Amino acid sequence: MSTNKSIAGVFPIANTPFHPDGSVDYESQDRLIDYLIEQGAHGLGLFGNASEGYALSGPERIELMRRIAKRVNGRVPLVASSGHTGTDAAVQLSKEMEDLGADCLMVLPPYFLKTDGDGLMYYFTAISNAVKIPIMVQDAPLMTQVAMPPALLARMGREIENVKFVKVEAPPTPSKFTAVAKQAAGALTLFGGLNCQFFIEEWQRGARGQMPGSDRTRDLVDIWNHLESGEVDAAWALFTRILPLLRFQLQPGLGVSAQKNNLVAEGVIASAHVRHPTAALDAESLAELAHLRQMVSREQSAAALSNT
């Protein structure tokens, strides 16, 4: 990783836009990447859950990584997801992502055939030995059903050379942040996920970054900046205004569709199509989401007027 690319701040997971026929919409992807950087993203996450990385073919992932790295052209660091159900496959994918321009790897544990703590150490060590860039362990038991206790994560940070980060998505996240930070004793940098539902508490407990979806980047960057400037009340005020949209996207299986519909409403991507098994919002949910967008927009406008 280049020394001038700091892995800290708000790193939205870039959605993968599709045409209505399900094919990748590369032009919308280009617009989305530019939009996220213009909105102030400190970096980008690629091929995570919000990217529908699980629904991409190998060649599509390679082409997207190549195209995104060229589009970004070093403006912000790229964190590419490269976990796999098999260790050898994860090693190969991690090397490919590094070769194509990733600055950091976000790696899920194997979750089809689950292994024990020693097996997880072997898996992450194998990836670390194959690459030269930092690794972010993704602790996401709601998705993987793989438990990684604070002591194991801390051990990874101490003993595996390139494991430098952990993305904690194991509820209740604030208490796990405290436990991991205490046991790792500086060996790991902590990131938050789960669409920033505990953004402020995690920051207060030592988080140095967040990985939300793509559709509220400017607001979340502003919250980050308020926190970094010591303006905690201002951070809470903005967080509270956008909370209805963040909450809506936490419905299991529906967050990606909601994010894409919001990006369509912003004119960023052309279609909100999602690939099966990702669920699309039904008509009632789309109406509810549109109402929330209007409500948040009115509240944001009113807050801006009151500050002038």
pLDDT tens track for 21-54: 999 999 999 999 999 999 999 999 999 999 999 9
pLDDT tens profile 251-273? 999 999 999 999 999 999 999 99
* Average pLDDT over every residue of 208-221: 97
For the cut 80, the answer to whether the pLDDT of residue 4 exceeds it is no
Q: Integer distance in angstroms from the first to the last C-alpha of the chain?
A: 42
What is the predicted pLDDT for the residue at 303?
A: 86
pLDDT tens profile 78-135? 999 999 999 999 999 999 999 999 999 999 999 999 999 999 999 999 999 999 999 9
Give 300's pLDDT tier (boundaries 50, 70, 90). confident
Return the higher-pLDDT residue of 39 and 2.
39
What is the predicted pLDDT for the residue at 19?
A: 98
For the cut 90, the answer to whether the pLDDT of residue 9 exceeds it is yes
Indicate the average pLDDT of the chain: 96
Residue 280 CA to its chain's centroid (Å): 20
